[in-house]
């Protein structure tokens, strides 16, 4: 599995970035269980004193995240080629008014994925040696 080290971005740094122009990439695996897409939370890779904290957080978190049809649709398009804005437009075409406001809903979901270390933002997050976005589902 590839490794990406998250560069800490403060809230004010994120406010200066147009999320709709970012093309996030998935950082972890997923599987289909009973017709639902399930994201498998990656295990911590950090070393040193902070590793203890990360392992405690990992142990307290849900190890698998089940997505609904909208979440699975967005997850499937996080390939590093499509921007959040493009994914929101595709979601609008697929789900119609039920996903409105599409940009806001898709953007919040992508930010949640990043906060949970499930996706990376190329150019903002430092890449590991094996590269980002090589994993397909």
> Among 34, 6, 3, 14, which residue's Cα sits nearest to residue 116?
6
Q: What integer is the mean pLDDT of 94-121?
A: 92
Rounded CA-CA distance 82/137 in Å is 16
- Average per-residue pLDDT in the chain? 80
- How far separated are the first and last CA of the chain, in Å rounded? 13
The answer to whether residue 126 sits within a structural domain is no
Sheet holding 30-33, edge to edge: 30-33, 36-40, 64-66
Task: For residue 44, count CB atoms less than 10 angstroms from its CB and return exposed for 0-12, middle for 13-18, buried for 19 or more.
Answer: middle
According to the model, what pLDDT value does residue 87 have?
Answer: 97
Number of domains in the chain: 1
pTM equals: 0.74
Give the domain range for residue 60: 11-120
The answer to whether residue 5 sits within a structural domain is no
According to the model, what pLDDT value does residue 12 have?
Answer: 61
Q: What integer is the mean pLDDT of 32-38?
A: 88
pLDDT digits (tens, 9 = 90+) for 48-75: 888 888 788 777 777 888 999 999 999 9
Higher pLDDT, 14 or 15: 15
The answer to whether residue 64 sits within a structural domain is yes
């Amino acid at each position: 599995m590839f490794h990406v080290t998250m560069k800490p971005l403060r809230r004010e740094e994120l406010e200066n970035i147009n999320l709709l122009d970012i093309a996030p990439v998935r950082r972890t695996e997923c599987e289909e269980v009973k017709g639902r897409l399930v994201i498998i939370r990656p295990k911590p890779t950090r070393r040193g004193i902070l590793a203890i904290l990360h392992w405690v957080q990992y142990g307290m978190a849900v190890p698998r995240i089940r997505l609904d049809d909208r979440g699975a649709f967005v997850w499937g398009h996080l390939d590093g080629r499509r921007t959040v804005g493009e994914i929101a437009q595709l979601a609008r075409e697929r789900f119609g008014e039920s996903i409105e406001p599409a940009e806001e809903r898709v953007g919040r979901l992508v930010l949640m994925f990043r906060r949970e270390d499930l996706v990376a933002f190329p150019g903002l997050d430092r890449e590991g040696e094996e590269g980002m976005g090589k994993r397909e589902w």
